[in-house]
Amino acid sequence: MALVAISASVFAQKVNFKIKGSDTVLPLTQKEAEVYMKKNAGSSIMVTGGGSGVGVSALLSGTTDIAQSSRSLKLDEKMKLNDAGKAFTEKIIAYDALAVIVNPANKISKLTREQLEGIFTGKIKNWKEVGGEDLKIVVYSRETSSGTYEFFKEHVLSKKNFAPSALLMPATGAIVQSVSQTKGAIGYVGLAYLEKSVRALDVSFDKGKTFTAPSVETAKSKKYPITRPLYYYFLKTNEKKVSPFLTFVLSPEGQQIVLKEGYVPVQ
Amino acid sequence: MKRFRRILEKFIEGILLSSSTITSLTVILIILFLFREGLGLFNRSPLEHNFIIAVSKQNPVQDLSSDQLKAIFNQDITNWSKVGGVKDSIILFTINDITNYFSEEELGASLENLPQKLNEFIEANPGALMHVSEKYLPKKFNGHTIHVKNISVGDFLFGKQWYPTSEPIPSFGIWPMIIGTFLVTFGALLIALPLGLATALFLAEVADIRLRNLVKPLVELLAGIPSVVYGFFGLIVIVPLIQGLFKLDVGETVLAGSIVLGIMALPTIVTIAEDALRTTPLSLKEASLALGATRWQTLRKVTIPYAKSGISAAVILGIGRAIGETMAVLMVTGNASNVPHSFLVPARTLPATIAAELGEAPYGGLHFKALFALGIVLFLFTIIINLTVAYIRNREKK
């Protein structure tokens, strides 16, 4: 887990707190914290990963001030916070879109959600079943512990399990590399990881009526369906402490960083 | 002066003793920790702590196997009649679905009405299968809980499915990984053994001293390269090569893992085997040559038999190196949890699974414990390997 902790001389809007949680949000938060600390010398923001669930339980136990999460709180997590008498605030700081990618040699350019479900759960095994050439489909996925895996499973596979034959890659970069060198491959990656060596598919969540290509614009307008909000959660009692940083993240400058890191800005 | 020296010696002795005590204690503590966490997986419900599976009171179904539950939540079974109930479709319900049936106001600001609403829900939907926390069940619950079988060692070792984060019932079957680990290791040995032993023979017997001084450090340098570099090299070079060579759909295969591991095991095999070959006394070799044996005959009949135990140790330590390797394998074998049936399909290994998943498995949870149980299996494998080395060495001494 990466760790950023910088402190310098005393100045201006000094803040000192910890952020913990989702590995999807981690690179973004790190960058934001870095820029913020550079602008406000003397501030110290410690950012660590560990997964969305880890962040929320840290918020509950009081070992972090902000929990970063790539999903909204589950009901049982809300209950636990309620039980502990901790009122919290939820802030969406950016959006992340997942692109479904194939090898550039593949002639397929669009798929419906139902087709994607069939492919990723192993019911559809050959590209000719969805109108492509006679070629075996090779499914690439992230590891089970990744938030991206969970999101894709819940959102695209209607909570069904991935096929046991799916190849689980340790990093998003490895998925891009493998899809680019395997002709029958299909995989999914965050918008930020899209490259020329792979091709993103248009997807339809209304049974084939409209297909949308993934891009910052379509994700922003919510036209692209595989989009998820990224959240910061913090306790109401901590609001004063974290609000200067939060204001910065949501400011035009902070949102510019969001865009630069490959995520989708809120406004 | 003499007295001073004696005190100094005692002091050094003390330092040596405490160092070795600390080392042994650390090792024992780690092993204890491994077993404590790993064994916690067994003989308990596969459901997370405090969670239960419940159905309506009218529902005649009393217990379901993990496989049936999995099929139901995977929506492969959608009717109660398939699992011994009445003909009625199954309505899946987890606690997070409650907001689809009742508004937040109805549930109350701090969810105080939740238990009562759960009751209303199960009454209105007799076909429901609920996965909820015990804590939120109403006192007079209109349903009954379903008994789920505990996780057994047999299911763990011979189960064929690995879905550690699947809700509500995870699957912890490591059979595909055991087979995967063995195949990858075996393949690595097939590659590394002939190559490594031949290199060792060449260095010990054939090469002149200048060449030897050049090649041996080079081979040893292989051991110093970080394994992630091997993995990356494998993914970019070996994987596409195998894919093109065998006209495969996927290049991430057992073979790719075996090649990368074979290269990584080379330094161990070469160094130890070469050292063993060089321990053959010169007098023995000279005697053989004096009797008129050729250099090759001497090598075959005198040097190799004399160094046999050392060579065996090299082989087994090579296996040890290959079986425990993590990062390189993680990147090139594809990690699909199918049971591999040849060298040209993807596979998942034990160490790669631990490395890939431990980072995000919630501390103390079932998944966490399952990964430690994987660690125990791996630990037992390496113990067996090391005992074999000790056995062979002892036998040779006699």
SS3 call for B64: strand
B91, B128 in Cβ contact below 8 A? yes
pLDDT (0 to 100) of residue A201: 95
Residue B365 corresponds to which amino acid? G
Domain ranges of chain B: 1-39, 51-151, 175-397
Q: Is A79 in contact with B99 (Cβ distance < 8 A)?
A: no
The CATH fold assigned to B175-397 is MetI-like fold (1.10.3720)
B275 touches chain A (CB under 8 A): no
pLDDT (0 to 100) of residue A144: 79
What values do phi and psi take at A247, rounded to 5? -60, -40
- Chain A residues whose CB is inside 8 A of the B239 CB are 178, 181
Q: Return residue ranges of chain A for CATH 3.40.190.10.
A: 2-95+230-260, 96-220
Confidence category of residue A106, pLDDT binned at 50, 70, 90: very high
Residue B266, pLDDT above cutoff 60: yes
Residue A47 belongs to what H/E stretch?
A: strand A44-48
B302-348 pLDDT, tens per residue?
888 888 888 888 888 888 888 888 888 888 998 888 899 999 999 99
What is the rounded CA–CA span in Å between residue B283 and residue A139? 62
Nearest residue in chain B measured CA to CA from A159:
B74
Query: B360: distance to nearest CA of chain A, Å?
Result: 6
Q: Is A167 in contact with B249 (Cβ distance < 8 A)?
A: no
A82 touches chain B (CB under 8 A): yes
pLDDT (0 to 100) of residue B227: 86
- According to DSSP, the β-strands at A185-190 and A138-142 are parallel
Residue B19, pLDDT above cutoff 50: yes
Burial label, A254 (beta-carbon count in 10 A; 0-12, 13-18, 19+): buried
A134 touches chain B (CB under 8 A): no
Nearest residue in chain B measured CA to CA from A22:
B360
User: CB pairs below 8 Å between A and B: how many?
Assistant: 101
Closest Cβ opposite residue B331 in set A74, A145, A170: A170
What is the rounded CA–CA span in Å between residue A94 and residue A96? 7
pLDDT (0 to 100) of residue A136: 92
B35 touches chain A (CB under 8 A): no
Tell me B123's DSSP state: H
pLDDT (0 to 100) of residue B397: 65
What is the rounded CA–CA span in Å between residue A47 and residue B72? 40
What are the beta bridge partners of residue A18? A46
The CATH fold assigned to A96-220 is D-Maltodextrin-Binding Protein; domain 2 (3.40.190)
Average pLDDT over residues A227-232: 90
Closest Cβ opposite residue B336 in set A74, A164, A170: A164
pLDDT (0 to 100) of residue A13: 63
Nearest to B352 by CA among B331, B376, B370: B331
B324, B384 in Cβ contact below 8 A? no
- Chain A residues whose CB is inside 8 A of the B99 CB are 75
B346 touches chain A (CB under 8 A): yes
Residue B161, pLDDT above cutoff 80: yes
A252-266 pLDDT, tens per residue?
999 999 988 888 898
pLDDT (0 to 100) of residue B200: 92
What are the beta bridge partners of residue B132? B52
Residue B388 corresponds to which amino acid? T
Average pLDDT over residues A104-124: 94
Closest Cβ opposite residue B95 in set A50, A76, A135: A76
What is the rounded CA–CA span in Å between residue B176 and residue B156? 11
What values do phi and psi take at A111, rounded to 5? -145, 150
Q: Is B360 in contact with A79 (Cβ distance < 8 A)?
A: no
Average pLDDT over residues B133-144: 80
End-to-end Cα spacing for chain B: 46
Name residue, tokens 């003793």. Answer: B17
Averaged pLDDT score across all residues of chain B: 87
SS3 call for A104: coil
Residue A187 belongs to what H/E stretch?
A: strand A185-190
Distance of CA B208 to the CA centre of its chain: 43
Q: Is A174 in contact with B346 (Cβ distance < 8 A)?
A: no
pLDDT (0 to 100) of residue B398: 61
- Chain A residues whose CB is inside 8 A of the B361 CB are 145
A142, A149 in Cβ contact below 8 A? yes
Average pLDDT over residues B259-267: 92
Residue B113, pLDDT above cutoff 90: no
pLDDT (0 to 100) of residue A145: 67
Average pLDDT over residues B83-90: 84
Q: Is A161 in contact with B133 (Cβ distance < 8 A)?
A: no
Confidence category of residue B149, pLDDT binned at 50, 70, 90: confident
Nearest residue in chain B measured CA to CA from A147:
B360
Averaged pLDDT score across all residues of chain A: 86
Nearest to A40 by CA among A18, A12, A17: A12
B50-84 pLDDT, tens per residue?
788 888 888 888 888 888 888 888 888 888 888 88
Average pLDDT over residues B213-235: 88
Q: Is B362 in contact with A54 (Cβ distance < 8 A)?
A: yes
The CATH fold assigned to B51-151 is D-Maltodextrin-Binding Protein; domain 2 (3.40.190)
Residue A3, pLDDT above cutoff 50: no
Confidence category of residue B22, pLDDT binned at 50, 70, 90: very high
| Helices and strands: H and E segment counts in chain A | 9, 11
Average pLDDT over residues A25-46: 90
Q: Is A160 in contact with B111 (Cβ distance < 8 A)?
A: no
pLDDT (0 to 100) of residue B269: 92
Closest Cβ opposite residue A174 in set B133, B176, B235: B235
- Chain A residues whose CB is inside 8 A of the B235 CB are 174, 177-178
Closest Cβ opposite residue A75 in set B96, B162, B360: B96
A148-203 pLDDT, tens per residue?
888 899 889 988 889 988 999 877 888 999 999 999 999 999 887 888 999 999 99
Specify the CATH architecture of the domain A2-95+230-260. 3-Layer(aba) Sandwich (3.40)
Peptide bond between residue B168 and the one before it cis (omega within 30 degrees of 0): yes
pLDDT (0 to 100) of residue B394: 80
- Chain A residues whose CB is inside 8 A of the B336 CB are 164-168
Residue A1, pLDDT above cutoff 60: no
Query: A92: distance to nearest CA of chain B, Å?
Result: 20
What is the rounded CA–CA span in Å between residue B352 and residue B194? 26
Three-state SS across B330-364?
Answer: HHHCECCCCCCCCCCCCECCHHHHHHHHHHHCCCC
A160 touches chain B (CB under 8 A): yes
pLDDT (0 to 100) of residue A162: 92
Q: Is A167 in contact with B252 (Cβ distance < 8 A)?
A: yes
- Chain B residues whose CB is inside 8 A of the A161 CB are 70, 74, 163, 166
Average pLDDT over residues B264-281: 90
- Chain B residues whose CB is inside 8 A of the A181 CB are 239-240, 243, 251
